[in-house]
Amino acid sequence: MDKKKFKINPKVWPKEYTFEEFKRLNPNINESVLINYYNKYLQEYAENYSRHIKYFEDTKKILTDNIQEVKSKYLDTQYFLKMYYGSDDPTAAGAGSYPIFTPTDISGLINWYDATEGITLKGGAGTEVSEWKSKVGTNHLVESGSLGGVGGSEPVLNSEGDAVEFPSGNTNDALSFTTPLSLGAFTMFFVLRLQTDTGRYYALFRGESANANMYLFGASSDMFFTMGLDDGGGDTDSISIGQMDNDIADDTKVVFVVTKDAAENARVKIYVNNVDSFPQGGGGGSDALDKNIPFTPAMFGMFNGAGRHLNGEVFEFGIYDRFLSDTDIKQLYYYLGIKHNIPGYDGPSELRPYNWLDSNYGL
């Protein structure tokens, strides 16, 4: 076929022409010849269309797969960490340096106290703590003086200089927040070493009213957890969790975590070394706080007098103003377990970036 007279290239097919349109576009060709041309055009058009559809579907599948892959990698922040630091394994030879996880990598951290930093002692040769500065923000812990008619002295910096100690022979040792807290949902983490050889109170927080409190009570073989809310107008709510499934051993450093998952109708959970320690067997305990009353601690380390302070040492603690997932709680445990050489620590031997995907990391 002489295609020089053919005015339409079938390989460029803007549309499927009717014979009348085809004839109009090729006016100087004999109709019988034009019919042959038109049939050839239809054949090539159909072949091109078929190839186009296959190409289109193949391209569509490739694009869909690529979009899904990019979406998956976008949702996995580790993809960008690995891409930026140049290795799937940040410890491999030639891998770039990578950021070590710290509690600030999790949003909502409003207070963070480390006994190796920010401690100011009273003047002279004394070891009493007059101020403990927060590593986050300006809500520091300072000398308590007295609150609500309860007088108190201050805890001391231990001889190793790595913990704030509330000696068991003292009475009412405490520090006050420069700004009392008001918390709905929250997560708190502590590194503690308690003197649990006898039945004692281990007070963590007290509000302006003694009804606003958080403390543990009992010996290492029979320990309870209690928390109370008070709106200041006579409305209160409280829980008593006992007996804990995973008690805190005497004179043993542990990571202790408390969570409250909502402002109202909330469940409170406690963890000792990343183990959920709420008494699953019941035991008369309750983990529910029904009322929408903020938890409002004003003092750290004291409950309500009569020697009811912490009775032990605090190496580090922090407070988030939201409920954290089990994964984030696990990472806090890894961070604190490695940093403080927690006895029986069960986790990776080194810290990784936040939420680094690693089977050895437990994530």
Inform me whether the pLDDT recorded for 103 exceeds 90: yes
Interval 173-221: pLDDT, tens: 889 999 999 999 999 999 999 988 777 888 899 988 888 999 998 877 7
| Pair 195, 262 in one domain | yes
In this structure, is residue 339 part of a structural domain? no
| Pair 205, 317 in one domain | yes
| Pair 59, 119 in one domain | no
Instruction: Write the CA distances from 92 to 85, 87, 99, 194, integer angstroms.
Output: 11, 7, 15, 40
Average pLDDT over residues 240-250: 81
| Pair 153, 256 in one domain | yes
The parent domain of residue 55 ranges over 3-74
Contact at 8 Å (CB) between 148 and 209? yes
Inform me whether the pLDDT recorded for 111 exceeds 90: yes
**220: exposed, middle or buried (C-beta count within 10 Å: 0-12, 13-18, 19+)?**
middle
Which secondary-structure segment (H or E) carries 30?
Answer: none
| Pair 152, 7 in one domain | no
| Pair 166, 273 in one domain | yes
Shortest CA distance to 214 belongs to which of 234, 231, 235, 228? Answer: 228
**What is the token pair recorded at 158?**
């231990």
| Pair 57, 174 in one domain | no
Q: Which residue has the higher pLDDT, 20 or 78?
A: 20
Mean pLDDT rounded to a whole number for the chain: 81
Lowest mean pLDDT, pick from 38-47, 126-135, 176-185, 244-253: 38-47
| Angle CA 50–55–58, to nearest 5 | 125
Residues facing 227 on adjacent strands: 214, 239
Interval 297-306: pLDDT, tens: 999 988 765 5
Look up tokens 């805890």; give the residue: 155
> What is the CB neighbour count within 10 angstroms for residue 33?
13
The pLDDT confidence band at residue 358, using thresholds 50, 70 and 90, is: low
Q: Helices marked H in the chain — which ranges?
A: 19-25, 31-75, 77-85, 326-339
Q: What pLDDT does 58 receive?
A: 75
Contact at 8 Å (CB) between 95 and 87? yes
Phi, psi of 99 (to 5 degrees): -75, 135
| Pair 151, 289 in one domain | yes
Residue 130 neighbours by CB under 8 Å, 6+ apart: 120, 121, 122, 142, 143, 154
| Pair 69, 142 in one domain | no
Lowest mean pLDDT, pick from 267-271, 292-296, 344-348: 344-348
Inform me whether the pLDDT recorded for 341 exceeds 80: yes
In this structure, is residue 89 part of a structural domain? no
| Pair 176, 228 in one domain | yes
Q: In CATH, what number is assigned to the domain containing residue 112? A: 2.60.120.200
| Pair 143, 64 in one domain | no
Instruction: Write the CA distances from 272 to 65, 95, 191, 327, 329, integer angstroms.
Output: 44, 35, 10, 15, 11
Q: Which residue has the higher pLDDT, 97 or 362?
A: 97
**152: exposed, middle or buried (C-beta count within 10 Å: 0-12, 13-18, 19+)?**
buried
Average pLDDT over residues 30-49: 79
Q: Of the segments 16-25, 273-282, 339-348, which one has the largest average pLDDT value?
A: 339-348
Shortest CA distance to 210 belongs to which of 328, 296, 332? Answer: 296
> What torsion, rounded to 10 degrees, do the Cα atoms 316, 189, 185, 248 define?
-130
Q: Which residue has the higher pLDDT, 244 or 151?
A: 244
| Pair 116, 58 in one domain | no
Lowest mean pLDDT, pick from 31-40, 69-78, 120-129: 69-78
Question: Any idea how long the chain is?
Answer: 363
26, 57, 74: which is the final residue of a domain?
74
